[in-house]
């Protein structure tokens, strides 16, 4: 039997989530607060003060389960844990409610690349370009699509355009660096990763790429 929907809950289906412990009650559909634990105890209350407890409070106490900000945070957290399917589910939930919300669009693009979803990325990139061709996000998505299909010359062209439109966006520089690394152009790759690090002070991701010697990776 299906559980009753919770007012203000996230539209993400439990079945779409790879790691059921990502959000408060073990699923982004925020099952009833006093519901019985599942077979694996996934609906049990999370420890007080934990990130999952904070998500639970946002959804059940404050009614922010469908908030783009809540879902974007959940997507970023899942992506950082390399739980790409869960992250994509949260991004898709935001997209379903508001296709023009960009709260997690960079994560959305990165998930599609990581999961090898050519068709999904093609459609998203087209939509972003049609929506605002002056936005660096749109050309980051186009560059990511060409990176995914291994047209690295075209990927470099569009990542370059993205960095010109928004030089402060670290994600665009990382994409630019990955497209060089895929062609064994390590000097240009490292230069791009250094630029990303300058924009993302305190972030570890550009340093990770530099530590890998500019090796081509997603």
Residue 71 tokens, joined: 């879902």
Residue 205 confidence (pLDDT) above 80: yes
Residue 165 confidence (pLDDT) above 90: yes
Residue 70 confidence (pLDDT) above 80: yes
Per-residue pLDDT tens for 113-140?
999 999 999 999 999 999 999 999 999 9
The DSSP call for residue 60 is: I
* Residue 31 φ/ψ region, left for φ over 0, alpha for ψ in the -120 to 50 degree band, beta for the rest: beta
Residue 35 confidence (pLDDT) above 60: no
* pTM for the full predicted model: 0.78
Per-residue pLDDT tens for 173-203?
999 999 999 999 999 999 999 999 999 888 8
Closest by CA position to 23, among listed 78, 84, 64: 78
Spatial separation of the C-alpha atoms in residues 72 and 90, rounded to whole Å: 7
Closest by CA position to 59, among listed 18, 102, 93: 93
Closest by CA position to 162, among listed 176, 147, 183, 180: 176
Residue 171 tokens, joined: 């994600």
Spatial separation of the C-alpha atoms in residues 163 and 10, rounded to whole Å: 34
């Amino acid at each position: 039997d299906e559980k009753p929907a919770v007012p203000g809950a996230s539209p993400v289906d439990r079945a779409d989530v790879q790691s059921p412990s990502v959000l408060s009650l073990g699923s982004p559909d925020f099952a009833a607060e006093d519901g019985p634990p599942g077979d694996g105890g996934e609906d049990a209350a999370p420890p007080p003060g934990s990130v999952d407890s904070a998500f639970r409070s946002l959804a059940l106490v404050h009614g922010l389960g469908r908030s783009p900000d809540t879902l974007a945070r959940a997507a970023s957290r899942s992506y950082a844990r390399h739980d790409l399917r869960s992250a994509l589910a949260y991004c898709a939930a935001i997209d379903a409610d508001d296709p023009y919300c960009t709260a997690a669009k960079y994560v959305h693009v990165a998930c599609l690349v990581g999961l090898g979803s050519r068709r999904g990325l093609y459609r998203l990139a087209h939509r972003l370009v049609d929506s605002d061709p002056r936005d660096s996000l749109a050309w980051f998505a186009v560059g990511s699509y060409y990176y995914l299909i291994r047209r690295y010359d075209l990927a470099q062209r569009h990542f370059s355009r993205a960095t010109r439109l928004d030089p402060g966006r670290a994600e665009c520089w990382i994409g630019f660096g990955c497209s060089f690394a895929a062609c064994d152009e390590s000097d240009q790759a490292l230069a791009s990763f250094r630029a990303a690090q300058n924009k993302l002070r305190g972030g570890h991701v550009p340093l990770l790429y530099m530590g890998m010697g500019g090796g081509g990776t997603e």
